Chains A and B, each alone.
Chain A
Amino acid sequence: DTEVTQTPKHLVMGMTNKKSLKCEQHMGHRAMYWYKQKAKKPPELMFVYSYEKLSINESVPSRFSPECPNSSLLNLHLHALQPEDSALYLCASSQAPGLLAKNIQYFGAGTRLSVL
């Protein structure tokens, strides 16, 4: 099973709302990722968790707050977003970094976010 499950599939929120995106994997992967993808562009890395600890934050605004409650779950909490934050938000997972690992990242289908 190479499935990464993301919920919800679609989300519309106002600029004053608080919402959360969820991601789940059961492949035993210990690295999990959040990406943002705009139309016709490649995914842009936002955050990386390795062994449930935040290892990379690509200078993402604080209105995006990641959380990794356990090795299978990853959340992205959203607050006071701007219309330009509208995008496809992708979650991915992979083996934890290491000499014997391969950086094969498995992506979920994403959450299509619209900020009004």
Chain B
Amino acid sequence: QQQVKQSPQSLIVQKGGISIINCAYENTAFDYFPWYQQFPGKGPALLIAIRPDVSEKKEGRFTISFNKSAKQFSLHIMDSQPGDSATYFCAASKAAGNKLTFGGGTRVLVKP
């Protein structure tokens, strides 16, 4: 059972454009929603995370939007750069727990 659904599977965006990745979750017990960025040959690295008491969180060019009632959250990458080309995973967990449930991943390619 896939508890976190992520879309799209892949995304091509021009340099300077906006990349948008969406995730939906089912388990209402989740209260911590991180996004991980993974480059080829590397492990995932935490990019940004949000708790459900906040509707939006921004760090530099990366913004998470959170809709608790819809059980959806999304990552926006503003002014996308070729160096942002990577696979992005959304995830969900109980903040006090130790088990992450990952979405299926989105491969982002930023064309110069």
Contacts and interface: CB of A to CB of B under 8 A. Distances in A.
Given A40-B105, A41-B105, A55-B98, A103 B42 contact: no
A103 B100 contact: yes
A110 interface: yes
Contacts, number: 67
B44 A107 contact: yes
A24 to B, nearest CB: 14
Contacts of B46: 104-106
Nearest to B96: A99
A104 B32 CA distance: 9
Contacts of B94: 103
Interface residues of B, number: 25
Q: Is the interface of B mostly helix, strand, loop or mixed?
A: loop
A89 to B, nearest CB: 10
A108 interface: yes
Q: Is the interface of A mostly helix, strand, loop or mixed?
A: loop
A78 B105 CA distance: 28
B99 A45 contact: yes
A60 interface: no
Query: Closest 4 A-B residue pairs measured CB to CB?
Result: A107-B43, A42-B102, A97-B98, A103-B93
